[in-house]
Structure 1
Protein backbone atom coordinates (compact mmCIF):
# COMPACT_ATOMS: atom_id res chain seq x y z
CA UNK A 1 0.00 0.00 0.00
CA UNK A 2 1.22 3.54 -0.64
CA UNK A 3 2.40 5.48 2.39
CA UNK A 4 -0.48 7.96 2.20
CA UNK A 5 -3.59 6.46 0.73
CA UNK A 6 -5.29 3.25 -0.20
CA UNK A 7 -3.49 2.46 -3.47
CA UNK A 8 -1.96 -1.00 -3.09
CA UNK A 9 1.71 -1.16 -4.09
CA UNK A 10 3.04 -4.73 -3.93
CA UNK A 11 6.13 -5.12 -1.73
CA UNK A 12 5.95 -1.47 -0.58
CA UNK A 13 8.26 -0.41 2.26
CA UNK A 14 9.22 2.96 3.76
CA UNK A 15 12.47 4.24 2.28
CA UNK A 16 14.77 7.24 2.39
CA UNK A 17 14.82 9.17 -0.88
CA UNK A 18 18.27 8.60 -2.44
CA UNK A 19 20.45 11.53 -3.52
CA UNK A 20 19.87 13.48 -6.70
CA UNK A 21 21.95 12.28 -9.65
CA UNK A 22 22.74 13.90 -12.97
CA UNK A 23 23.95 12.77 -16.37
CA UNK A 24 25.81 15.54 -18.19
CA UNK A 25 26.87 16.02 -21.82
CA UNK A 26 27.59 18.66 -24.43
CA UNK A 27 26.28 18.37 -27.97
CA UNK A 28 28.97 18.04 -30.61
CA UNK A 29 31.74 17.38 -28.07
CA UNK A 30 33.33 14.04 -27.26
CA UNK A 31 33.89 14.07 -23.52
CA UNK A 32 33.41 17.25 -21.49
CA UNK A 33 34.70 20.78 -22.09
CA UNK A 34 34.61 22.55 -18.71
CA UNK A 35 35.51 25.88 -20.34
CA UNK A 36 32.00 25.92 -21.86
CA UNK A 37 29.65 25.10 -19.01
CA UNK A 38 26.89 27.02 -20.78
CA UNK A 39 26.73 24.18 -23.34
CA UNK A 40 25.90 21.50 -20.78
CA UNK A 41 22.76 19.42 -21.14
CA UNK A 42 21.60 17.20 -18.31
CA UNK A 43 19.15 14.60 -17.12
CA UNK A 44 18.26 14.79 -13.42
CA UNK A 45 17.51 11.44 -11.79
CA UNK A 46 16.52 9.90 -8.48
CA UNK A 47 16.91 6.17 -7.94
CA UNK A 48 13.62 4.45 -7.14
CA UNK A 49 13.10 1.41 -4.92
CA UNK A 50 12.57 -1.91 -6.70
CA UNK A 51 8.85 -1.94 -5.84
CA UNK A 52 8.30 1.05 -8.15
CA UNK A 53 7.24 -0.50 -11.45
CA UNK A 54 6.13 1.31 -14.61
CA UNK A 55 2.50 0.93 -13.42
CA UNK A 56 3.25 2.37 -9.98
CA UNK A 57 5.21 5.20 -11.60
CA UNK A 58 2.35 6.01 -14.02
CA UNK A 59 -0.12 6.04 -11.12
CA UNK A 60 2.12 8.39 -9.09
CA UNK A 61 2.56 10.78 -12.04
CA UNK A 62 -1.21 10.88 -12.60
CA UNK A 63 -1.94 11.56 -8.91
CA UNK A 64 0.77 14.22 -8.60
CA UNK A 65 -0.46 15.94 -11.78
CA UNK A 66 -4.04 16.00 -10.48
CA UNK A 67 -3.26 17.13 -6.94
CA UNK A 68 -0.48 19.61 -7.58
CA UNK A 69 -1.46 20.83 -11.05
CA UNK A 70 2.08 20.11 -12.23
CA UNK A 71 3.21 19.58 -15.81
CA UNK A 72 5.07 16.29 -15.54
CA UNK A 73 5.05 15.30 -19.21
CA UNK A 74 8.88 15.27 -19.32
CA UNK A 75 9.23 12.94 -16.32
CA UNK A 76 10.22 9.42 -17.41
CA UNK A 77 10.70 6.02 -15.83
CA UNK A 78 14.12 4.80 -16.96
CA UNK A 79 16.24 1.77 -16.27
CA UNK A 80 19.99 2.20 -16.45
CA UNK A 81 22.85 -0.24 -16.94
CA UNK A 82 26.02 1.79 -16.49
CA UNK A 83 28.70 -0.75 -17.24
CA UNK A 84 32.33 -0.13 -16.32
CA UNK A 85 33.23 3.27 -14.85
CA UNK A 86 35.75 5.02 -12.61
CA UNK A 87 34.48 7.22 -9.82
CA UNK A 88 35.89 9.51 -7.15
CA UNK A 89 34.49 11.59 -4.33
CA UNK A 90 34.87 15.33 -4.97
CA UNK A 91 34.66 17.59 -1.92
CA UNK A 92 34.16 21.29 -2.56
CA UNK A 93 32.67 23.64 -5.10
CA UNK A 94 31.16 22.28 -8.29
CA UNK A 95 33.41 24.80 -10.08
CA UNK A 96 36.45 22.90 -8.77
CA UNK A 97 35.36 19.52 -10.17
CA UNK A 98 37.80 19.67 -13.13
CA UNK A 99 40.73 19.08 -10.73
CA UNK A 100 39.13 15.85 -9.50
CA UNK A 101 38.22 14.86 -13.07
CA UNK A 102 41.88 15.35 -14.00
CA UNK A 103 42.88 12.88 -11.26
CA UNK A 104 40.26 10.41 -12.54
CA UNK A 105 41.62 10.73 -16.08
CA UNK A 106 45.17 10.12 -14.83
CA UNK A 107 44.00 6.98 -13.01
CA UNK A 108 42.12 5.80 -16.12
CA UNK A 109 45.29 6.17 -18.20
CA UNK A 110 47.47 4.44 -15.58
CA UNK A 111 45.08 1.48 -15.53
CA UNK A 112 45.08 1.07 -19.29
CA UNK A 113 41.44 2.07 -19.57
CA UNK A 114 39.84 4.51 -21.99
CA UNK A 115 37.19 7.17 -21.32
CA UNK A 116 33.95 6.02 -22.95
CA UNK A 117 31.72 9.12 -22.98
CA UNK A 118 29.46 8.88 -26.03
CA UNK A 119 25.81 9.14 -27.10
CA UNK A 120 24.91 6.26 -24.76
CA UNK A 121 27.24 6.86 -21.80
CA UNK A 122 27.55 10.15 -19.95
CA UNK A 123 29.51 11.97 -17.28
CA UNK A 124 27.54 11.02 -14.14
CA UNK A 125 27.34 12.93 -10.86
CA UNK A 126 25.75 11.88 -7.57
CA UNK A 127 25.07 14.78 -5.21
CA UNK A 128 25.56 13.56 -1.65
CA UNK A 129 25.12 17.03 -0.11
CA UNK A 130 22.24 19.49 -0.23
CA UNK A 131 23.72 22.77 -1.55
CA UNK A 132 20.98 24.71 0.26
CA UNK A 133 22.24 23.44 3.62
CA UNK A 134 25.95 22.79 3.06
CA UNK A 135 28.86 25.21 2.83
CA UNK A 136 30.35 25.20 -0.67
CA UNK A 137 33.70 23.89 0.57
CA UNK A 138 31.93 20.90 2.18
CA UNK A 139 29.80 19.79 -0.78
CA UNK A 140 30.27 16.09 -1.56
CA UNK A 141 29.76 14.85 -5.11
CA UNK A 142 30.57 11.45 -6.59
CA UNK A 143 32.03 11.97 -10.07
CA UNK A 144 31.63 8.93 -12.30
CA UNK A 145 33.30 8.57 -15.71
CA UNK A 146 32.36 5.69 -18.03
CA UNK A 147 35.34 3.72 -19.30
CA UNK A 148 36.12 0.76 -21.48
CA UNK A 149 38.88 -1.75 -21.01
CA UNK A 150 41.18 -1.75 -24.05
CA UNK A 151 42.46 -5.24 -23.20
CA UNK A 152 38.94 -6.68 -23.13
CA UNK A 153 38.11 -4.89 -26.40
CA UNK A 154 41.26 -6.35 -28.01
CA UNK A 155 40.50 -9.81 -26.59
CA UNK A 156 36.95 -9.63 -28.01
CA UNK A 157 38.35 -8.64 -31.41
CA UNK A 158 40.74 -11.61 -31.32
CA UNK A 159 37.84 -13.91 -30.51
CA UNK A 160 35.87 -12.61 -33.51
CA UNK A 161 38.80 -12.67 -35.94
CA UNK A 162 39.90 -8.99 -35.67
CA UNK A 163 36.92 -7.76 -37.68
Structure 2
Protein backbone atom coordinates (compact mmCIF):
# COMPACT_ATOMS: atom_id res chain seq x y z
CA UNK A 1 0.00 0.00 0.00
CA UNK A 2 1.27 3.46 -0.90
CA UNK A 3 2.64 5.44 2.05
CA UNK A 4 0.90 8.81 2.21
CA UNK A 5 2.33 11.19 4.80
CA UNK A 6 -0.90 13.21 4.95
CA UNK A 7 -2.73 10.13 6.25
CA UNK A 8 -0.07 8.26 8.22
CA UNK A 9 2.04 11.04 9.73
CA UNK A 10 -0.56 13.63 10.66
CA UNK A 11 1.13 14.62 13.93
CA UNK A 12 4.22 15.74 12.03
CA UNK A 13 2.60 17.40 9.04
CA UNK A 14 -0.99 18.29 9.95
CA UNK A 15 -0.88 19.63 13.53
CA UNK A 16 -3.67 21.78 14.98
CA UNK A 17 -3.74 25.56 14.55
CA UNK A 18 -2.61 25.97 18.15
CA UNK A 19 0.74 25.20 19.80
CA UNK A 20 1.62 21.71 20.92
CA UNK A 21 4.71 19.89 22.17
CA UNK A 22 6.12 17.18 19.93
CA UNK A 23 9.27 15.06 19.81
CA UNK A 24 10.67 14.65 16.30
CA UNK A 25 12.86 11.58 15.65
CA UNK A 26 15.85 11.66 13.28
CA UNK A 27 14.97 11.67 9.58
CA UNK A 28 17.10 11.81 6.44
CA UNK A 29 16.83 14.63 3.94
CA UNK A 30 18.14 16.08 0.75
CA UNK A 31 19.23 19.56 1.84
CA UNK A 32 20.55 22.68 0.18
CA UNK A 33 21.75 25.90 1.82
CA UNK A 34 21.45 29.44 0.53
CA UNK A 35 20.72 33.04 1.39
CA UNK A 36 18.58 35.90 0.18
CA UNK A 37 14.98 36.82 -0.47
CA UNK A 38 12.66 33.85 -1.08
CA UNK A 39 10.64 36.06 -3.44
CA UNK A 40 13.58 36.36 -5.84
CA UNK A 41 13.29 34.24 -9.02
CA UNK A 42 16.59 32.48 -8.24
CA UNK A 43 15.03 30.94 -5.11
CA UNK A 44 13.02 28.61 -7.34
CA UNK A 45 16.22 26.93 -8.53
CA UNK A 46 16.88 25.63 -5.03
CA UNK A 47 13.41 24.13 -4.86
CA UNK A 48 13.73 22.62 -8.34
CA UNK A 49 17.01 20.94 -7.36
CA UNK A 50 15.46 19.30 -4.30
CA UNK A 51 12.44 18.00 -6.18
CA UNK A 52 14.57 16.75 -9.07
CA UNK A 53 16.56 14.46 -6.77
CA UNK A 54 13.50 13.49 -4.72
CA UNK A 55 11.52 12.42 -7.78
CA UNK A 56 14.52 10.57 -9.17
CA UNK A 57 14.20 8.29 -6.14
CA UNK A 58 10.41 8.15 -6.23
CA UNK A 59 10.31 7.14 -9.91
CA UNK A 60 13.34 4.82 -9.88
CA UNK A 61 11.11 1.73 -9.83
CA UNK A 62 9.79 2.56 -13.31
CA UNK A 63 13.25 1.78 -14.70
CA UNK A 64 13.80 -1.19 -12.42
CA UNK A 65 16.50 0.74 -10.55
CA UNK A 66 14.81 1.02 -7.15
CA UNK A 67 16.84 0.19 -4.02
CA UNK A 68 16.18 -2.75 -1.72
CA UNK A 69 13.18 -2.16 0.52
CA UNK A 70 11.56 0.31 -1.88
CA UNK A 71 7.85 1.01 -1.42
CA UNK A 72 5.56 3.45 -3.17
CA UNK A 73 5.02 6.72 -1.35
CA UNK A 74 3.99 10.33 -1.76
CA UNK A 75 7.00 12.65 -2.00
CA UNK A 76 7.36 14.55 1.26
CA UNK A 77 6.69 18.31 1.39
CA UNK A 78 9.28 21.03 1.07
CA UNK A 79 10.72 22.26 4.37
CA UNK A 80 12.96 25.15 5.28
CA UNK A 81 14.98 26.15 8.33
CA UNK A 82 15.22 29.94 8.39
CA UNK A 83 17.51 32.35 10.20
CA UNK A 84 19.08 35.79 9.83
CA UNK A 85 22.60 36.28 8.55
CA UNK A 86 25.33 36.98 11.09
CA UNK A 87 25.47 40.64 10.04
CA UNK A 88 21.69 41.03 10.21
CA UNK A 89 21.66 39.71 13.77
CA UNK A 90 24.08 42.45 14.81
CA UNK A 91 21.62 45.23 13.96
CA UNK A 92 18.32 43.38 14.40
CA UNK A 93 15.61 45.78 15.63
CA UNK A 94 12.55 43.56 15.42
CA UNK A 95 12.00 43.95 11.68
CA UNK A 96 13.23 41.47 9.09
CA UNK A 97 14.81 42.35 5.77
CA UNK A 98 14.16 39.28 3.60
CA UNK A 99 17.35 39.98 1.64
CA UNK A 100 19.28 39.14 4.83
CA UNK A 101 17.72 35.71 5.37
CA UNK A 102 19.71 32.48 5.32
CA UNK A 103 18.03 29.15 4.74
CA UNK A 104 18.50 25.41 4.64
CA UNK A 105 15.82 23.92 2.39
CA UNK A 106 15.11 20.20 2.46
CA UNK A 107 12.85 17.32 1.49
CA UNK A 108 12.65 14.24 3.67
CA UNK A 109 13.48 10.86 2.12
CA UNK A 110 12.15 7.39 3.04
CA UNK A 111 14.22 5.18 5.33
CA UNK A 112 15.15 2.77 2.51
CA UNK A 113 17.32 5.45 0.86
CA UNK A 114 21.03 4.85 1.52
CA UNK A 115 23.85 7.37 1.12
CA UNK A 116 24.94 5.60 -2.04
CA UNK A 117 21.49 5.62 -3.61
CA UNK A 118 20.92 9.26 -2.66
CA UNK A 119 24.08 10.28 -4.48
CA UNK A 120 23.01 8.21 -7.49
CA UNK A 121 19.72 10.11 -7.50
CA UNK A 122 21.64 13.39 -7.58
CA UNK A 123 23.51 12.13 -10.66
CA UNK A 124 20.20 11.28 -12.35
CA UNK A 125 18.79 14.69 -11.42
CA UNK A 126 21.77 16.45 -13.02
CA UNK A 127 21.26 14.42 -16.19
CA UNK A 128 17.61 15.46 -16.40
CA UNK A 129 17.77 19.10 -15.27
CA UNK A 130 20.19 21.78 -16.46
CA UNK A 131 20.31 23.32 -13.00
CA UNK A 132 23.84 23.91 -11.65
CA UNK A 133 22.52 24.21 -8.08
CA UNK A 134 21.86 20.45 -8.04
CA UNK A 135 25.62 20.10 -7.43
CA UNK A 136 25.09 21.69 -4.01
CA UNK A 137 22.63 19.08 -2.74
CA UNK A 138 23.57 17.19 0.41
CA UNK A 139 22.09 14.04 1.93
CA UNK A 140 22.05 14.09 5.71
CA UNK A 141 20.26 12.97 8.85
CA UNK A 142 18.67 15.66 11.01
CA UNK A 143 17.32 15.21 14.52
CA UNK A 144 15.11 18.01 15.87
CA UNK A 145 14.10 16.40 19.14
CA UNK A 146 11.84 18.29 21.57
CA UNK A 147 9.85 21.00 19.74
CA UNK A 148 6.82 23.25 19.81
CA UNK A 149 4.81 23.41 16.61
CA UNK A 150 1.50 24.59 15.18
CA UNK A 151 -0.24 24.99 11.84
CA UNK A 152 -0.14 28.55 10.57
CA UNK A 153 -3.14 29.42 8.42
CA UNK A 154 -2.70 32.30 6.01
CA UNK A 155 0.01 34.36 4.36
CA UNK A 156 3.68 33.83 5.14
CA UNK A 157 3.80 37.52 6.09
CA UNK A 158 1.46 36.92 9.05
CA UNK A 159 3.61 34.16 10.56
CA UNK A 160 4.88 36.49 13.34
CA UNK A 161 1.39 36.33 14.87
CA UNK A 162 1.64 32.54 15.18
CA UNK A 163 5.17 32.78 16.56
CA UNK A 164 3.90 35.12 19.28
CA UNK A 165 1.29 32.50 20.20
CA UNK A 166 3.99 29.81 20.30
CA UNK A 167 6.28 31.95 22.47
CA UNK A 168 3.42 32.56 24.92
CA UNK A 169 2.75 28.81 25.03
CA UNK A 170 6.40 28.20 25.87
CA UNK A 171 6.28 30.72 28.71
CA UNK A 172 3.16 29.06 30.13
CA UNK A 173 4.79 25.62 30.00
CA UNK A 174 8.25 26.54 31.33
CA UNK A 175 9.88 25.89 27.97
CA UNK A 176 12.74 27.86 26.47
CA UNK A 177 13.35 28.27 22.77
CA UNK A 178 16.82 26.90 21.96
CA UNK A 179 17.55 29.29 19.09
CA UNK A 180 15.88 32.00 17.03
CA UNK A 181 15.90 29.96 13.85
CA UNK A 182 12.77 27.99 12.99
CA UNK A 183 11.43 25.36 10.63
CA UNK A 184 8.62 25.80 8.12
CA UNK A 185 6.90 22.89 6.35
CA UNK A 186 4.94 23.93 3.28
CA UNK A 187 1.75 21.90 3.17
CA UNK A 188 0.16 24.13 0.52
CA UNK A 189 1.50 25.02 -2.92
CA UNK A 190 1.56 28.85 -3.11
CA UNK A 191 1.25 28.63 -6.90
CA UNK A 192 -2.19 27.04 -6.52
CA UNK A 193 -3.52 28.29 -3.18
CA UNK A 194 -4.56 31.84 -2.26
CA UNK A 195 -2.32 33.48 0.39
CA UNK A 196 -5.08 33.54 3.01
CA UNK A 197 -5.64 29.78 2.55
CA UNK A 198 -2.02 28.64 2.86
CA UNK A 199 -1.13 25.98 5.43
CA UNK A 200 2.39 26.04 6.87
CA UNK A 201 3.69 24.06 9.83
CA UNK A 202 5.81 26.27 12.08
CA UNK A 203 8.21 24.55 14.47
CA UNK A 204 11.15 25.39 16.70
CA UNK A 205 13.27 23.41 19.15
CA UNK A 206 12.79 23.89 22.88
CA UNK A 207 14.30 22.76 26.15
Q: CA RMSD in A?
A: 2.1
Partner of 1:43: 104
Tell me which residue corresponds to 1:27.
Answer: 85
Q: TM-score, normalised by structure 2?
A: 0.65
Q: Which residue of 2 aligns with 1:90?
A: 152
- Which of 96, 99, 121 is equivalent to 2:161? 99
How far apart in 1 are the matches of 2:94 and 2:113?
36
Bigger relative CO (Cα 8 Å, ≥ 6 apart):
2
Give how far 1:80 is off.
Answer: 0.5
The count of aligned residue pairs is 145
Note if contact 1:92-1:139 (Cα within 8 Å) is conserved in structure 2: yes
| TM superposition shift of 1:8 | 4.3
Residue 126, structure 1, aligned to residue 185, structure 2: yes
CA distance in 2, matches of 1:24, 1:91: 18
**TM-score, scaled to structure 1:** 0.81
Bigger radius of gyration: 1
Higher helix share: 2
Deviation at 1:147, TM superposition (A): 1.0
Unaligned regions of 5+ residues in structure 2, if any?
1-58
Match of 1:17 in 2: 75
Query: 2:153, 2:77 → 1: CA distance?
Result: 16
1:141 has 2:200 as partner = yes
Unmatched 5+ stretches in structure 1: 149-163
Q: Determine whether 1:79 maps to 2:149.
A: no
Distance 2:78 2:146 in 1: 21
With over 3 angstroms needed to count, the CA separation of the structure-2 counterparts of 1:128 and 1:8, relative to structure 1, is: closer
